[in-house]
Amino acid sequence: MARQIDMHMHTVASDGSLYAREMADAVIEVGLGAACVADHDTLSAVDEFASVLSSHGIATVNAVEYSSCFYGRELHILAYGFPEDKLGAAESFGARCRSAREEKDRRIIHMLSERFPQLSADEYDAFSYDRHLKGGNRAAKYVYSKGVCSGYSEYSALKKSLGLDDSLLPPAEETIAFIRDAGALSVLAHPGSRFGTGREDREKLELLVEWGIMGIECLSPYNPDRDQYEYYRAFCRRHSLCSSAGSDSHGPTMSRRIGVPYADDGMCDILERLEI
């Protein structure tokens, strides 16, 4: 019998709004057969999440979503199944990614403070908020709190207007190589957020294959339609990649629901590749 799966969720360990135990309880309530927490640049929620799921017979594996740079822009690469003796190295690589993201956020606030006098880099350094209630990105939350903008789309437009690239992040090629050498499985996250179906996008996907990417998240909120799924699944078949699926749920502060879009291990073969 096919299991409903969700291989991509976030907790308060990164930018989600649920603790690991709460996310696990939500997975149980939905009735998933397999699920993974894949927080941004940290595996710190994995153990607690796994301990709850294992007691209910729900399959899981350690996972993380690394922030990398590809053609000057941020690209997220999921990693699944680090061996026990590589978990420390995996967390250290994530710390490098976190440091780069935090430095970029500081630069963003500094540049925005030159446009908006209510913003202050020093004030931002001391800013905190309750992730459990709000989730999300700290820099964005600070900007919201000062009335500069009211939502992430506005904040994203402000960031884009600054002209900053993402070159502080580890290069995608290096990230893929690190995951491979550590004995884990690398998967391109939500390709619909960066790639279309044109020739240039296909060539960029093929470059990731050349670098050693091992799978693609064929179903996500960024590419939920059947034709998109079939496009990425066909690409996976041509290049002997595994296909994955995830809701990218961040808890109740975002509209993405656990288990949506629907996927099972008859549609995506990542569970077979991971032997879970």
Residue-level pLDDT at 196? 86
pLDDT (tens digit per residue) in 35-74: 999 999 999 999 999 999 999 999 999 999 999 999 999 9
pLDDT (tens digit per residue) in 240-274: 999 999 999 999 888 899 999 999 988 999 999 99
pLDDT band at 134 (very low <50, low <70, confident <90, very high): confident
For residue 133, is pLDDT > 80?
Answer: no
Last residue of some domain: 147, 162, 177? 162
Residue-level pLDDT at 253? 81
Q: In this structure, are 174 and 200 located in the same domain?
A: yes
Q: In this structure, are 25 and 58 located in the same domain?
A: yes
3-class DSSP string for the chain:
CCCEEEEEECCCCCCCCCCHHHHHHHHHHHCCCEEEECCECCCCCHHHHHHHHHCCCCECCCEEEEEEEECCEEEEEEEECCCHHHHHHHHHHHHHHHHHHHHHHHHHHHHHHCCCCCCCHHHHHHCCCCHHHHCCCHHHHHHHHCCCCCCHHHHHHHHHHHCCCCCCCCEHHHHHHHHHHCCCEEEECCHHHCCCCCHHHHHHHHHHHHHCCCEEEEEECCECCHHHHHHHHHHHHHCCCEEEECCCECCCCCCCCCCCCCCECCCCCHHHHHCC
Mean pLDDT along residues 123-131: 91
**Average model confidence (pLDDT) for the chain?**
95
Domain limits at 226? 5-94+167-274
Last residue of some domain: 120, 137, 162? 162
Count of structural domains within the chain: 2
pLDDT band at 144 (very low <50, low <70, confident <90, very high): very high
For residue 152, is pLDDT > 90?
Answer: no
Mean pLDDT along residues 133-140: 85
Mean pLDDT along residues 197-225: 95
Mean pLDDT along residues 6-11: 98
